[in-house]
Structure 1
Amino acid sequence: MAESTRTPTVVADGVHITYTVHGGRPGGRGAATAALGRMLHRRKAPAGREVHAVKGVSFVAYRGEAIGLIGSNGSGKSTLLKAVAGVQPVDRGRIYTHGQPSLLGVNAALMSDLTGERNVILGGLAMGMSRTEIRERYGGIVDFSGINEKDDAISRPMRTYSSGMGARLRFSIAAAKSHDVLLIDEALSTGDARFRRRSQQRIDELRAEAGTVFLVSHSNSTITETCERALWLESGTLLMDGPAKEVVAAYEEFTAKPGPKKPNQRDIAV
């Protein structure tokens, strides 16, 4: 389909994002110990360290696309997703979205002291589903997550779940309805191969329902299996935007080189 006839769902135009990190230096004293020391000696808290997490990133996402975000730790992937979702302010540039983006992360806030069952209800309500819709989809959500197959885990508090169980339930709740834009941060890196296959199939269905999916993952195979397009971010800069297999191959080639990694757009064949 010609690009001019496709429907944009997310437009990032020269986006810059900075935030301030407070606390001690890595390897230094803990925050509580440092704060107590300042109180005893009546010292002021040290100024925070500013992090320029995203630097002039621009791209256009279209309806029906699945787009992977790759890059090393601290490259700005999760920060960019939060900005698209509207939960992270942008310092410069603009992000335009069609519809309401939904952010799903491994650490998405569900209520750890409530049972999985209650969290399914709360999560559904938070996504705009009615109680009738939640009742109709409840069995499918639990079955999809696979957490209830052995010991009735859905009736236990979520704080008793492993990280993989919690991530599977979060994805299952989010995947129970269609989304204009679904943002997934590392949620598919947990779980067994069967769950990953089910998740990838559901992502394909969401795309067919005229949605756009963004996926952050440290698993390059997950990106190439799930997405047809990828964005490579490094140190907050967008280095490459193109077919997922080509972008992943360039990323793997670059990270395999010995010595310090300081990629530059001029080093990448776009």
Structure 2
Amino acid sequence: MGVAEQTQTPANTISADAQRVPTVIVDDVHVIYRIHKGAAANTGATAALKRIVSRASTPNIREVHAIKGVSFTAYQGEAIGLIGSNGSGKSTLLRTIAGLLPPARGGVYTMGQPSLLGVNAALLNDLSGERNVTLGCLAMGMSPERVKRITPEIIEFSGINERGDFASLPMRTYSSGMGARLRFAIAAAKEHDVLLIDEALATGDRKFRVRSEQRVRELRANAGTVFLVSHSLGSIRDTCERTIWLEGGVLKMDGPTDEVCKAYEGR
């Protein structure tokens, strides 16, 4: 029997690979929603009691296969864009990585607890923007002293005071864009192992987007991993060096942002 020829790998390649630290591993993940067929009136408590009394069968359940066998690995220092048409599974995938949606099959493995930032993230409408900043920062584990020191920076970053003292007003007086900018400013004030951003960069003017994109680059530089869902390919190109394209819950393409965006535009 002959001796197999061994291929030598350059030492610098081995070193580069060894230094890549995985932060998120998505392994053959399937996410399935189960939806009751028929009118909502047939799925309430009264309808359920009638079925028990009459021994009738439960309503048919329709399954929606939202994510279909998606696999990839993300590493420290990466900013990864998620693109795809409406209903392609982008936000569902973020929620699954964040641990809010359990996969029906497969697994998600993460470094630390991922932080999900969405435009619908909850802030308390009856409290002022400044008070929401305080509560949000405390909830992220900051000390009261640091919160007091960093609050003016967060408010300035969000830009909510550019047209008046909105920081002292209740959140219910804010536009949707102002609320989204404040959510981003609060979340981005902390270094995250994994930060998941759903459309937040698309809610402000050009000046805010520039600030946001710079902050994402700073988070990456401090060994964090950032995922960005956006319909704005401009934001993806400006912020992310790697992009994942989902379509119909399937991973269509994963690679350098420019290549993936060009393929998406030419679909």
TM-score band (shorter)? 0.7 to 0.9
Distance 1:22 1:185 in 2: 28
Q: Percent identity?
A: 65
Judged with a 3 Å threshold, the aligned counterparts in structure 2 of structure 1 residues 23 and 113 are, in CA distance, closer, same or farther, namely farther
Q: Measure, in 1, the Cα distance between the counterparts of 2:202 and 2:62.
A: 31
Distance 1:24 1:187 in 2: 35
Q: Secondary structure at the match of 2:266?
A: helix
- Indicate the residue corresponding to 1:216 in structure 2: 229
Counterpart check, 1:51 vs 2:42: no
Q: In the TM superposition, what are the counterparts of 1:127-146 in structure 2 within 5 Å?
A: 127-146=140-159
User: Paired residue for 1:126?
Assistant: 139
- What does residue 208 of structure 2 align with? 195
Alignment-mate amino acid for residue 16 of structure 1 = H
1:67 aligns with 2:46: no
| Correspondence for 1:105 among 98, 113, 118 | 118
Matches of 2:123 and 2:248 in 1, distance apart? 30
Deviation at 1:20, TM superposition (A): 2.0
Distance 2:132 2:35 in 1: 31
Letter of the 1:150 counterpart: R
The structure 2 residue matched to 1:152, chosen from 158, 161, 165, is 165
CA RMSD of aligned residues (A): 1.9
1:113 Cα offset (Å): 1.8
In the alignment, structure 1 residue 12 sits paired with structure 2 residue 26: yes
Following the alignment from structure 2 to structure 1, what is the Cα–Cα distance between the partners of residues 116 and 211?
19
Structure (1 or 2) with the larger CA radius of gyration: 2
Rounded to whole Å, the distance in 1 between the matches of 2:137 and 2:37 is 36
Deviation for aligned residue 1:5: 2.5
In the alignment, the residues of structure 2 paired with residue 23 and residue 112 of structure 1 have an alpha-carbon distance, to the nearest angstrom, of: 35
Deviations 1:174-227 (A, max 9, x none): 011100000000111111000000000000000011100000000111111110
Distance in 2 between residues matched to 1:24 and 1:71, nearest whole Å: 30
SS in 2 for 1:18: strand
Please name the residue that 2:10 is paired with.
Answer: none
CA apart distance, 1:23? 7.0
Q: Could you tell me how far 1:121 is from its partner in structure 2? A: 1.2
One-letter amino acid matched to 1:14: D
Aligned residues: 245
Local SS of the residue matching 2:141: coil
Pairing 1:208-247 to 2, within 5 Å after superposition: 208-247=221-260
Distance 1:111 1:161 in 2: 12
By how many angstroms is 1:112 displaced? 1.6
Does the 8 A contact of 2:36 with 2:43 survive in 1?
no
Per-residue deviation, 1:21:
3.2
Three-state SS of the structure 2 residue aligned to 1:104 is: strand
Unaligned runs of 5+ in 1: 26-30, 255-270
Which residue matches 2:5?
none
Aligned to 1:183: 196
1:161 aligns with 2:156: no
- Asked if 1 retains the 8 angstrom alpha-carbon contact of 2:24 and 2:110, the reply is yes
Aligned AA for 2:177?
G
- Letter of the 1:50 partner, please give it: E
TM-score by length of 1: 0.85
Following superposition, the deviation at residue 236 of structure 1 comes to 0.6
Which consecutive residues of structure 2, in runs of 5 or more, have no partner in the other structure? 1-12
In the aligned structure 2, how far is the partner of 1:48 from the partner of 1:121? 43
If the length of structure 2 is used for normalisation, what is the TM-score? 0.86
